[in-house]
Every structure is written in C-alpha cells, then in structure tokens.
Amino acid sequence: MPFSAQHIKAARLHLQKNDPVMKRLLKRVGPFTGKTTRHRFSTLVKSIVSQQISTVAARTIQGRLSDLVNAQAQGNFKVEPEDLAKFSVEQLREAGVSKQKATYMLDLAAKVNDQTVDLARIHRLDDEDAIAVLTKVKGIGRWTAQMFLMFCLGRMDILPVDDLGIKNAIASAYQLEEIPDRETIQTIAQPWRPYASVASWYLWRSTEL
C-alpha cells in the first residue's frame, strides 16, 4: 500500500510532539516524499541486484535483466517469477549478475512460484511474520525484508536498527559521542512509535543535507 497523506500527516504531528530532536529534523528536511513501489517480486529482485554495488551499476544490471526477460513495463523494471525461473544461473550471469546473486534470484523465484513465499498475501501478515517469510529466501536478510515492508507494503513502524545510515544519522542528530548500538537506538526510537518508518526516512534524508 502507498503511504497515505493522512498517515504521513499523523506521523509528522506525532514525531514533532514527542521528540524535540525529530521536530528540528523534520523542519530541516521538509515535506515527506517517500514513495512505495507496487510490484512486490520486482522489488525483491532489485534488492538482491543492488546488494554491495553502486546505484549506477545496479541500474545497468537491471536494464540488462529487462532485456533478457523482456521485463520492461512503462519504463519501469518489472519481472515475474515464472519468467525469471526459465533462466539458468549462467544465463543470468550474462546480464552481469554474479553467480551468488543469480542463485539468490532463482531461489526467490522458486519460493514465490511454490508459494513458500506468498507475495500476494504477505500484506496480511504482521511485520515479524512477514520478515520471517521473506528471510526464507537465500540472500534476503532482515534488513532487505525491512526495506520491503517499508517501501513496498508501506508499513509505518519499521526500525532498521542495523542500517549504517540510520546509526550515523542518529549519532549526528542526537549528538552522541559514538555510533549507537541496537539497544540505544531502540531507546531513542521509543517516542517515534508507531511511526518509526517515517522517522527513519527523515534520518536518511538528513544525511544528504
């Protein structure tokens, strides 16, 4: 589901009211412009492709994959699991995908096709159950699953405590002497609930100012 204007308005009011640091951050960054993506399988494929490479390199590989599987839809990358499953690891490598990532992508396609990962109904699960399902796929860890929940399902209360950008942004915004650990982040984030996703987006954007 997309982020609704009503929910974002409620989130901003909540954050401003409950956390003075976040209030200043919202003012600096400005309006919330986070977007959700609609095609769930393609989102996960893109996440796998993007692991540990630059944005430019990831876009190049996505373009090659689009050509390989005829996955271009109105200018956006869109691939279906049954289409991807037709290819071998070697064929995917010809599109620039590493052997390991090709294995991950085919494992994802297989698990979606046999409904081990039921993307059509995953929105019915709560956050932790959805993460547990997604992390059954090789190459999809908790962080990737959290990004999917935030930017594909539009979940409002996701806190990616292992994200380096979040750690650095919190250390800067809250004037910490060192990078915070998980427990510290959870404590700082308590006033953000149930809108940790929106707070996280503002923290990411704050590092770009």
Report pLDDT digits (tens) over 7-22: 999 999 999 999 999 9
Q: How far apart are CA 32 and CA 10, in angstroms?
A: 12
Phi, psi of 77 (to 5 degrees): -75, 120
| pLDDT confidence of residue 62 | 86
pLDDT at 68: 84
**pLDDT of amino acid 144:** 93
Q: Residue 73: what pLDDT?
A: 45
Alpha-carbon gap, residue 174 to 178, rounded angstroms: 11
Q: What pLDDT is attached to residue 51?
A: 85
In Å, how far are 58, 125, 136 from 118, measured between CA atoms? Answer: 26, 10, 12
Q: Shortest CA distance to 142 belongs to which of 53, 37, 47?
A: 47
pLDDT tens per residue across span 34-62:
999 989 999 999 999 988 888 888 889 88
Q: What is the pLDDT of residue 76?
A: 67
Residue 79: what pLDDT?
Answer: 87
- pLDDT of amino acid 123: 96
Q: Which segments in the chain show pLDDT lower than 70?
A: 71-76
pLDDT (0 to 100) of residue 2 = 77
Maximum distance among all alpha carbons in the chain?
A: 54
3-state percent helix, strand, coil for the chain, nearest multiple of 5: 60, 0, 35
pTM of the prediction? 0.89
Domains of the chain and CATH, by start? 5-35+158-206 (1.10.1670.40), 40-151 (1.10.340.30)
